[in-house]
Homo-oligomer: A and B are copies of this chain.
């Protein structure tokens, strides 16, 4: 009998009614002849409420105690789902992360999974039980309760699937991976398949469906990953390992658009690697995550450098630049917060040249000016003014046939 690992997110288990519906879906799958391991997140907005409780106590909670607090959310969900399964006649048993021995590093709130002892899972499966596991949590070498940070429950699910050599099905409130967020591009196509390489690019570029980390893990351990909606029976999207030559590849698989970055421009920097190295190493020390970079000379001795950083890091960046300006008052800087970062992703770009040209042509045709462009092997990213976002999405969507025809 094959093992299937299913993961249900917070919205999917947001109320007792929904938990019962999830139990029903799990049993359906079980009755098709599979063994089921189910990972759940905390119900609905539970995690947010717990964070708010902590905030009312202190502005600076100890990460260890935050983990102690937040892991209760999933513990509630697993017990309720196990009850719902048993209420529908299906034997079930729930396990916390520590109970199952989901061994992690000891970095609270950002722990990484080291290993999982699946012996208790195998025992329970052999007794015809559905195994319900708390996502997002584990235990360190010192028996401390840890959490995995952002995307943690997806990561728990993929890691368990890897260890159990199982398929991993992730259920959320969206029906799969689309060429583009359908709220932004009406008619955006749902993909039946996407390669994990493309998915990793999409995830790190801001498509919020699956966290980068879990896709990476699935890729590394060759875990078949399937993404679909808890609330419908529509087929979802398979994330497959790349290089499947038989699969018809489109040139561009998907598109993302994100307002979570700002553009920083430094003017009249002394030319040369030395000042570039200094800028980016000081940014890195402060954990400012620099993404797109473009640089050009400004006369012989001076240059411009422009780059994007996450919006939440603006204050840190500002204080760094004030230091540089204080040391060399020729240096000036500008922060543009009204920008959008857009990208297209597709394995097909590897073998087809001219995609960038098509992007420029489409945007030019729509009368849009680019502020910055970078390209990598399987993606092209660009920055434009916020007010041009909708027009650009239309133009690119049309140029690469990302939406259904009307």
Interface residues of A (CB under 8 A from B): 16, 19-20, 50, 53-54, 56-62, 64-66, 68-69, 71-72, 75-76, 78-80, 82-84, 86-87, 93-94, 96, 98-99, 143, 145
Which residue, A19, A59, A71, A82, has most C-beta atoms of chain B within 10 A? A82
Min CB distance A396 to B, Å, is 46
Taking CB atoms, residues of chain B closer than 8 Å to A50 are 76
A82 touches B62 (CB 8 A): yes
B83 touches A58 (CB 8 A): yes
In the complex with contacts A69-B75, A75-B68, A83-B62 CB distance below 8 A = yes
Taking CB atoms, residues of chain B closer than 8 Å to A83 are 54, 57-58, 61-62, 65, 69
Taking CB atoms, residues of chain B closer than 8 Å to A66 are 79
Known: A61-B83, A62-B86. 14 other contacts (CB 8 A): A19-B57, A54-B80, A57-B84, A58-B84, A59-B87, A65-B80, A65-B83, A65-B94, A68-B78, A68-B96, A71-B75, A72-B75, A72-B76, A98-B99
The residue of chain B having its C-beta at the shortest distance from the C-beta of A134 within the complex is B68
- Expressed in whole angstroms, the Cα–Cα distance for A71 and B93 within the complex equals 16
Copies of this chain per assembly: 2
The contact sample of 5 A-B pairs, CB cut-off 8 A, is A16-B53, A16-B56, A54-B83, A57-B84, A99-B143
- Expressed in whole angstroms, the Cα–Cα distance for A19 and B98 within the complex equals 27
A86 touches B58 (CB 8 A): yes
Q: Is the interface of A mostly helix, strand, loop or mixed?
A: helix
A76 touches B53 (CB 8 A): yes
B75 touches A79 (CB 8 A): no
Taking CB atoms, residues of chain B closer than 8 Å to A99 are 98, 143, 145
Taking CB atoms, residues of chain B closer than 8 Å to A59 are 87
Min CB distance A43 to B, Å, is 9
B76 touches A57 (CB 8 A): no
The residue of chain B having its C-beta at the shortest distance from the C-beta of A88 within the complex is B58
Min CB distance A115 to B, Å, is 17
- Expressed in whole angstroms, the Cα–Cα distance for A327 and B59 within the complex equals 71
Ordered nearest first, which 9 A-B pairs have the shortest CB separation? A16-B56, A58-B87, A68-B79, A72-B72, A69-B79, A65-B79, A61-B83, A65-B82, A57-B83
- Expressed in whole angstroms, the Cα–Cα distance for A59 and B16 within the complex equals 13
- Expressed in whole angstroms, the Cα–Cα distance for A75 and B53 within the complex equals 13
- Expressed in whole angstroms, the Cα–Cα distance for A145 and B59 within the complex equals 32
The residue of chain B having its C-beta at the shortest distance from the C-beta of A16 within the complex is B56
- Expressed in whole angstroms, the Cα–Cα distance for A128 and B56 within the complex equals 25
Min CB distance A128 to B, Å, is 15
Min CB distance A85 to B, Å, is 10
A16 touches B57 (CB 8 A): yes
Min CB distance A122 to B, Å, is 16
Min CB distance A285 to B, Å, is 27
Min CB distance A89 to B, Å, is 11
A69 touches B62 (CB 8 A): no
- Expressed in whole angstroms, the Cα–Cα distance for A83 and B55 within the complex equals 10
Partner of A57, one of B58, B78, B87, B94: B87
- Expressed in whole angstroms, the Cα–Cα distance for A53 and B87 within the complex equals 14
The residue of chain B having its C-beta at the shortest distance from the C-beta of A86 within the complex is B62
Taking CB atoms, residues of chain B closer than 8 Å to A19 are 57
- Expressed in whole angstroms, the Cα–Cα distance for A82 and B69 within the complex equals 10
- Expressed in whole angstroms, the Cα–Cα distance for A143 and B54 within the complex equals 29
Min CB distance A120 to B, Å, is 9
